[in-house]
Amino acid sequence: MQEVFNLLKAHADPETAVGMAAYQRNQFSFLGIKTPVRRELTKPIIKAAKQSGVIDWDFVETAWEQDAREYQYVALDMLKAQMDLLVPDDLARFQALAMRKSWWDTVDNMAHEVGHIVVTYPETKATMLAWSQHDDFWVRRLAILHQLFLKDQTDTALMTAILTVNFGSSEFFINKAIGWALRQYSKTNPGWVRDFIALHEDEMSSLSVREGSKYV
Which CATH number do you get for residue 34? 1.25.10.90
**Residue type for position 6:** N
141 and 197 inside one domain: yes
79 and 135 inside one domain: no
- Domain's final residue, options 85, 100, 118: 85
- Domain's final residue, options 85, 104, 124: 85
128 and 165 inside one domain: yes
- pLDDT of 1 strictly over 80: no
177 and 189 inside one domain: yes
Task: Tell me which residue range forms the domain holding 24.
Answer: 1-85
The DSSP code sequence of 88-114 is TTHHHHHHHHHTSS--HHHHGGGHHHH
Alpha carbon separation from 136 to 73, 171, 179 (Å, rounded): 21, 11, 19
Cβ atoms of residues 140 and 132 within 8 Å: yes
- Domain's final residue, options 85, 109, 127: 85
56 and 125 inside one domain: no
152 and 213 inside one domain: yes
State CA 120 to chain mean position distance.
18
Mean pLDDT value across residues 200-209: 98
Mean pLDDT value across residues 46-72: 97
With cut-offs at 50, 70 and 90, classify the pLDDT of residue 21. very high
DSSP state of 30: -
Cβ atoms of residues 15 and 73 within 8 Å: no
pLDDT digits (tens, 9 = 90+) for 127-167: 999 999 999 999 999 999 999 999 999 999 999 999 999 99
198 and 107 inside one domain: yes
State CA 124 to chain mean position distance.
17
Mean pLDDT value across residues 31-47: 97
Beta-carbon count within 10 A of 158 CB: 19
56 and 103 inside one domain: no
With cut-offs at 50, 70 and 90, classify the pLDDT of residue 2. confident
pLDDT at 25: 96
> Considering Cα of 28, then 32, then 36, then 38, what sign does the dihedral take?
negative
Question: How high does pLDDT run on average in the chain?
Answer: 97
37 and 129 inside one domain: no
112 and 21 inside one domain: no
Instruction: Report the C-alpha dihedral over residues 101, 139, 36, 71, rounded to 10 degrees.
Output: 30
